[in-house]
Amino acid sequence: MSNDDSVSSADVIRFWFGAPGPVERVEPAVSRRWWGKDPAFDEEVRRRFAEAHDRATRGALHDWATTPRGRLALVIVLDQFSRNMFRDDPRAFASDALAQAHTSAAIAAGDDLDLTAIERVFVYMPLMHAENLALQEQCVQCFERLAAAAPAEHADMLRNNLDFAVRHRDIVAKFGRFPHRNATLGRNSSAAELAFLQEPNSSF
C-alpha cells in the first residue's frame, strides 16, 4: 500500500483490524496496537495513511461514508490515525469534530447496527474523545447497549470499554474537558485539575 490517494476504506479496515470486514474477532497482537504507545506503529500509520488522513480532513473521502463500513474507516482515519500520527501534538485532536459528526450520522442512520461488536467500538470512540458532556452521555449509552447485546466471547472487552466510557464521562462532567490534554494544547490547568493529574490512571 502506498501513501497516496489509492488508499481505500477496505485498506483501512484491513490494516486496523488485521482482516477485512465484517470483523468478528481480532488477534491479540493486533488489538495491543490499539491501546499501547508504539513509535514503530505510529510511524507505520504515518507512512501508509498520511495522505488519506489529509484528504479525509479536507472532505475528499466523503464518498466512503455511503456505506456503514466505509464510514467506520473514515472515523478510524479521523479519530484513531490522528492520535497515532500526531501523538503529543495538538493536531492529534484537530479532526475530532469531524469524526464526531460522522459517528453521530452513523448512529442517526442506524449504520452502527450493521457493524460487528468490535467494529462498533471504534465507530463510537469519537464520542469517548469528546470534551462535550452530551456526547459523553451518548457514548456511555452506546457502550451500555453494546455490552448488553455482546457475544459472550467479547463480553470482557466490551465491559472494559464501558468502564472506560464511564470514566471519560465522569472526567468531562467534573472538569468540562480532559485535564491530561492541557499541556499538549497549551491550556492552563486549574488547581483541581493539577491535583487530579497526580492521581493514578488520570490520563488515557
Domain spans of the chain, in order of start? 9-197
Backbone angles phi, psi at 41, to 5 degrees: -70, -40
Neighbours of 195 (CB within 10 A): 12
Burial classification of residue 55, based on how many CB atoms lie within 10 Å of its CB (0-12 exposed, 13-18 middle, 19 or more buried): middle
Question: Which residues, in sequence order, are CB contacts of 145 under 8 Å at separation 6+?
Answer: none
**Which fold, 9-197?**
1.25.40
**Whether the Cβ atoms of residue 21 and residue 13 lie closer than 8 Å to each other:** yes
Question: Cell triple for residue 1?
Answer: 500500500
| CA-closest candidate to residue 59, choices 91, 101, 110 | 101
Task: Output the pLDDT for position 114.
Answer: 96
Task: Output the pLDDT for position 5.
Answer: 57
Task: Output the pLDDT for position 1.
Answer: 42
Task: Output the pLDDT for position 2.
Answer: 42
Distances (CA, A) of 92 to 82, 124, 195: 5, 17, 25
Pick out the chain residues at pLDDT < 50. Answer: 1-4
